[in-house]
Every structure is written in structure tokens, then in C-alpha cells.
Amino acid sequence: MTISDPVLEKRVRRAFKSLNRLMLLFWRLGLGFWFRWPKVFGCIMVITHRGRKTGNLYRTPVNFMIQDGRLYCTAAFGSKADWYWNILKNPEVEVWLPDGWWSGIAEEVSQAENRPEILRQILIASGFAAPAFGLHPEQISEDGLETLLENYHLIRIRRVEARTGPGGPGDLAWVWQVLSFFLLPIVLLQLRRKKSKNKK
């Protein structure tokens, strides 16, 4: 990115990791639609990928754009992004999108001819994220994009088939049912007490 101060970059990366955990929790609670605010949060999808060393499944929210039915995203911290190295090793991924859950195949296309314009669109789709790093994608020159591409990895994901069943977005939505089960009696009791006081 364009942050030259390594200490500041480390703090920003830490802040984005915390935000990503919050975003993922919202998706799992079935509230991913709260982040459909492109100019602020950007266009966000969640990639499920397998660890290249552990074999464990991980989920990472990333900004994306769609062109000709294909999904495009970029590793925001270049070679420092673990998910990038994971999908190079294991390209079979799953993606959570605002309109569904898909299995897919990921590939690096950093050498594609149209990569500068795709990168620009991804940065535009990042909402506040790009400006947070001093990038203004609608104003940056072609030469500036080429410079960024020296450190950015462009990823294309081809959707294979729609997924259903457990383990997808909203897998923690049952929490709302449990909370309702315990909270509803309390609310009703409070209303009853308030009604009794009003009668006196």
C-alpha cells in the first residue's frame, strides 16, 4: 500500500483485522446485508480457503468486483496476506456473496492485460478502505496503477456451483432464536409489571 511508516501500517493492518472479524461475525449471524453500503464498507464477500500448512478452513472478508460473471479481488497487503498464499496452494474455495453461497476455483491473473482497470474497479469497490491508505482510485493515473500492480496480486474466482446446507453464511443465526427464547419472557414480565403499576 502507500503507507510509508511501518508502525502506522502495522496499526492499520491490526485495525482491519479486527474489522474483518466483526464483518465475519455479522455474516455468520445472518446480518451480512448490513454491510451492503458500497460507498462506506464497499462490496464485500467472504472467501473460505484451506490453510497451506495446517489444512484448516479459514474465512476472510475481501472487497470484490464482478466482470463477465467472474469475481475479482486483490490481496490488500500484497505478499503479506496469508489467504493469498493459501489459495495459491489450494485454489478450491467457497465464497459468500450478498446473493448466495458458491464453490469456486481461484487463480492469480496479475498478468492479465486488463488488470489496471480491474484493479481500479476493485479499489473503487473497497469503500473507505482505499482512502484509508491514501489511495483515490477514481483519480489515480494509469502509471500509478501500474506501480501498485507491482505489489498487488490480482485474483479471479470462477463460480462452479451454488452451495446449500450447514457451514454457510448465517450458520450462527440460531443464536437469535436462543436469545428470543430467553429474552421474550423477561420483556413480557416487564410489560406486565409496568401495566400493573399504571393501574394503581
Q: What is the DSSP string of 90-113?
A: --EEEEEETTEEEEEEEEE-TT-T
Dihedral sign for Cα atoms in the order 93, 94, 96, 99: positive
Dihedral sign for Cα atoms in the order 163, 169, 171, 175: negative
pTM over 0.85: no
Inform me whether the pLDDT recorded for 116 exceeds 60: yes
Confidence (pLDDT) at 103: 96
Kindly report, residue by residue over 97-107, the tens digit of the pLDDT: 988 899 999 99
Give φ, ψ of 103 to 5 degrees.
-90, 155
Cell numbers representing residue 54 in the block? 495446517
Rounded average pLDDT over 8-36 = 75
Query: Any idea what DSSP says for residue 14?
Result: H
> What's the CA gap between 126 and 150, in Å, rounded?
19
Residue among 94, 110, 107 nearest 169 (CA) = 94
Which position has the higher pLDDT, 32 or 71? 71
Distant-in-sequence, close-in-space partners of 32: CB < 8 Å, separation ≥ 6 = 23, 26, 44, 46, 96, 98, 169, 170
Residue type, 39: K
The mean pLDDT of the chain is 81
Inform me whether the pLDDT recorded for 55 exceeds 90: yes
For the chain, state the CA radius of gyration: 21
Give φ, ψ of 32 to 5 degrees.
-60, -25
